[in-house]
Amino acid sequence: MPVEISFGILTGKYDSSYADKVNDLSSPKLKEEILKEFPSAEISAIKIVPDDLQEIKSTLTEWFDLKINVIFTTGNLPDMIFAMIISSLKINPIAMLSRPLSGIRDNTMIVNLPGSPEMVSECFGIIKEALPLALELLTEQKKSVVSGHGAILSDSGASVVQTTSLSKVKLAPLRKYCYPIIDVEVASAIIKDICSDKEETTETVPLERSLNRIVAEDFCAEESIPSFATSIIDGYAVKRSDGKGIRVVKNVATAGDNPIDEVLKSGEAKRISMGDPIPAGADAVVPVEDTSVDKYSIDGSKVIKVEIKRAPNYNGNIRGIGSDVSKNSLVLKKGERIKHFSLGVLAMLGKTNILVYK
């Protein structure tokens, strides 16, 4: 505990009785408790004020300037508050209504105690043992803090590790390094020089054995994938501008067919499957679910006419040219590691042998 500790006691009253010091029993009781616990302490200020925020704030500001160490009023210091609340509730459950608070401003601790003399005495008795260490922390008296903290740990049954000054320890001679200390710039230049002299060697490996290898060249797509527009569903290729209505069905396309040169005309539709090329002139694909057969062939084996029940959207259900990989795009950069998805891309590009670093 510091040799001279100053305390301030600020008492708030709810009515005009704040000016009546005769009826103030809390301040004298608190002063008595302080001097009993800390005989060398100084009670620097005692004041009674109305329960007015501005006046309380003004008084506190004035006392802060006086460098008073502890002011008993309002703030927020959770651990002390919880200790006071818990202990007070054991004695008097009504104590929870008083809502004591505490806090810190600069090197001043602010504590709000309850209003009655009895509860003031109870709460001060709870926090008085923690006040010395708290004040030493505030005033940065490190030696006292260390010894006080050690005493607290000893009382709780915990052990305290003793420390020894390094000035009393005989140290071994400093190690001598066999390599000279050089500047960072010089070290960087040496590393760069060594790395640049190293010859990069490469080899060609089959695609199936290239996983996790580092590619030694850029890989660009030589053509777009897909190279022509295809359907993503089963349905009918149509002209969007025709909207809904009856269409004459043209020959059926199947997956793997080359794009047909014959241009689809207005009023026509072509039966198409998923993955089939989109015929020239068509700009939408209508799902089978949005159509119904209007007319079969005489033998019933072919659909002659079909009704489009829902108007299609432009490029609806069409996988466009280069939607996966566009022509001349960089798909794998020199120095990159080949991952699983990279294998698929390289295979899609038709690469069977890959140039990699050894």
Tokens 């006392």 locate to: 63
Give the integer Cα–Cα distance in Å for 235 and 310.
Answer: 12
Q: What is the CATH number of domain 202-224+324-357?
A: 3.90.105.10
User: DSSP secondary structure string, 300-327?
Assistant: SSSEEEEEE-SPPPTTTTEE-TTSSB-T
The residue that leads in pLDDT, 240 or 177, is 240
Give tens-digit pLDDT for 92-121: 554 444 445 567 777 788 888 777 778 778
Give the integer Cα–Cα distance in Å for 44 and 62.
Answer: 12
For 336, residues 6+ apart whose C-beta sits below 8 A from its C-beta are: 214, 215, 342
For 294, residues 6+ apart whose C-beta sits below 8 A from its C-beta are: 246, 304, 305, 306, 307
CATH match of 6-154 with 3.40.50.970: no
Contact assessment for residue 355 and residue 217, using Cβ atoms and an 8 Å cutoff: yes
DSSP 218: -
For the chain, give every domain's residue range. 6-154, 202-224+324-357, 230-319
Give the integer Cα–Cα distance in Å for 214 and 211.
Answer: 9
Grade residue 15 by pLDDT with cuts at 50, 70 and 90.
Answer: low
3-state SS class at 19: helix
Give tens-digit pLDDT for 19-62: 555 567 778 888 888 888 888 888 888 888 887 778 888 888 88
CATH match of 230-319 with 2.170.190.11: yes
Contact assessment for residue 145 and residue 1, using Cβ atoms and an 8 Å cutoff: no
Instruction: Tell whether pTM > 0.75.
Output: no
The residue that leads in pLDDT, 229 or 180, is 229
User: Which of 52, 48, 64, 40 lies closest to 9 in space, CA to CA?
Assistant: 48
For 154, residues 6+ apart whose C-beta sits below 8 A from its C-beta are: 160
pLDDT of residue 1: 44
